[in-house]
């Protein structure tokens, strides 16, 4: 469980230390790619607390989801339709579901009153 969190912290620190401005025309692509990557991180943490974590699945999901989301944003831009919103909805929903699993695990671990997992 510590590896995904450590990776997230290292990524945030690197992002804060290296000043880089993303051009406006790429903001949708980067936003959905970050959201997809965050979904994978939360999914990795949720899989870890459930004892189902697999590095191959995590890495393929991390990069595959980010790439798919960026491609959806690109196609949407070319068609003039905000298709990236489908990615925002899907990854946002999954992120909240994974967060609920993590939250229940932590509550169960520290209270020992609820047998959710």
Q: What is the mean pLDDT of the chain?
A: 85
pLDDT tens by residue, 2-46: 776 788 789 889 988 987 888 888 888 888 888 888 898 899 989
For residue 114, what pLDDT is reported?
53
Does the pTM exceed 0.75? no
For residue 82, what pLDDT is reported?
87
pLDDT tens by residue, 51-77: 998 999 999 988 888 888 888 888 988
CA dist 57 and 49 (Å) reads 15
């Amino acid at each position: 469980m510590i590896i995904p969190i450590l990776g997230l912290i290292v990524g945030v620190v690197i992002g804060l230390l290296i000043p880089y401005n993303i051009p406006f025309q790429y903001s949708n692509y980067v936003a959905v790619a970050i959201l997809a990557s965050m979904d994978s991180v939360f999914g990795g943490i949720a899989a870890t607390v459930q004892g189902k974590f697999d590095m191959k699945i995590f890495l393929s999901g991390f990069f595959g989801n980010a790439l798919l989301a960026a491609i959806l944003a690109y196609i949407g831009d070319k068609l003039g339709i905000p298709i990236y919103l489908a990615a925002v909805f899907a990854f946002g929903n999954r992120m909240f579901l994974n967060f609920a699993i993590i939250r229940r695990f932590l509550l169960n671990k520290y209270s020992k009153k609820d047998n959710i997992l």
